[in-house]
Structure 1
Amino acid sequence: MSPTMPRIDVPQDTSDDFDSSGCEARLVESARSGNEDAFAELVHRYQRRVQRVIGRFVSDDETVADLTQETFLRAFVRLSQFDPSRRFGPWLFQIGVNLTLDHLRQKKRRIWWSLFSQTGQEKSPDPEMADPRVKLDLQQEVQTVLEQIPEKYRTVLVLRDLENFSTSEIAAVLGRTEATIRWRLSEARQRFSILWAKRSSLAGTTLPGFADDGTAVSSEAGVE
């Protein structure tokens, strides 16, 4: 079985399962008709999770808040273009994810740490990574490894393994087939596992590894 990243518990909110009932559809239709209270309710339902997803890609809290606000602003402006046959949640996250990735490209804020060059020569690691005195925080370590994974794989991995989106939901958000999403997820997990083990070695300490069933094991068990 393909490995998954270590589990990081996240706070739950009412948007974790996209609303498949008619209640949200009525809210969306009302918002499309100009009812600002209806749109405010949609913001209330999704704001925390949108902010959390964006925070998986951007570390600066102020930037996360700005991108979250811009996501809902764009959604409000584009409501007239929304296809009522679609679910609102995936459509909203598509806006947020695309906006965030555009921001990262424009500002060149992604950190592409490559442990090996294309010729196979090992590059000098970040001194902080190699210092065993540095206190390692699991969430920080996961984020650091994620930043080394190419965008198209990282996005799928974040949405599936950190935010618990289903394959069909990710396909809707990214506009790809479910088969493509499954393939990218498998590739992403494999890349993460390799980089995670390598980072553990460079850090001079042991980070949680992976059991045979793909779950994280304790730091005492080492990296498989």
Structure 2
Amino acid sequence: PLSYAVSLLGMPGLTAYVGIVDIGKAQAGETVYISSAAGPLGQVAGQIAKQRGCYVVGSAGSDDKVDFVLSLGYDAAFNYKTTPDGIQAALETHCPKGIDVYFDNVGGETLDAVFMVMNKGARLALCGMISTYQSDDPYRLGNMFMAVRKTATMTGFVIYDHFPQKMPAYISQMGQWLAEGKIRYQDATVEGLDNLPEAFIAMLSGQHGLGKCVIALPEAAKP
């Protein structure tokens, strides 16, 4: 699909690849946790981690999204909005061996919970804090002392620092996986620029659907 140019084979896909492979350094047998797992980055990050032989756990904001994440091959997933005993308890249940790599899309309470469940030497790839973007009173981390106790590495990154040098290797590898049928991906397509404002608001609130929010232009508007 043409939309892959701005999703799976574009910035979101490369971000997932760099986060899991270069920053997270995920290795076979390790436990990888990915927040916002049904989103444009989470879909790809989880499947890349599976290709590397990891045990992969994801979280999402609805039961339908959880089902979708599991259909991608995640080993476990949970709805962070309805987990009865909180995010930390859910992570302890679904990551019984602890967390070795965390791909962070949301920050806030979820990141704070990861601090309490991560293993010694854990690697945290920080690429987004969407849970705090619209808040006038952002969540204050209370468990960050565990990063010292667990000798964890936290690395914030912006994909433009890795582009274009990483893109050729990513396109080559992802192209091979796609040809072999090892990767699935879904975009959320919205028709017409008139619907862009509503789509943007829905994206920030997690209501836009699965994957990258792509605006499709009518045929008459295309060059």
For Structure 1 versus Structure 2, the TM-score category normalised by the shorter chain is under 0.3
Between structures 1 and 2, the one with greater helix share: 1
Q: TM-score, normalised by structure 2?
A: 0.27
The higher radius of gyration belongs to 1
Between structures 1 and 2, the one with greater strand share: 2
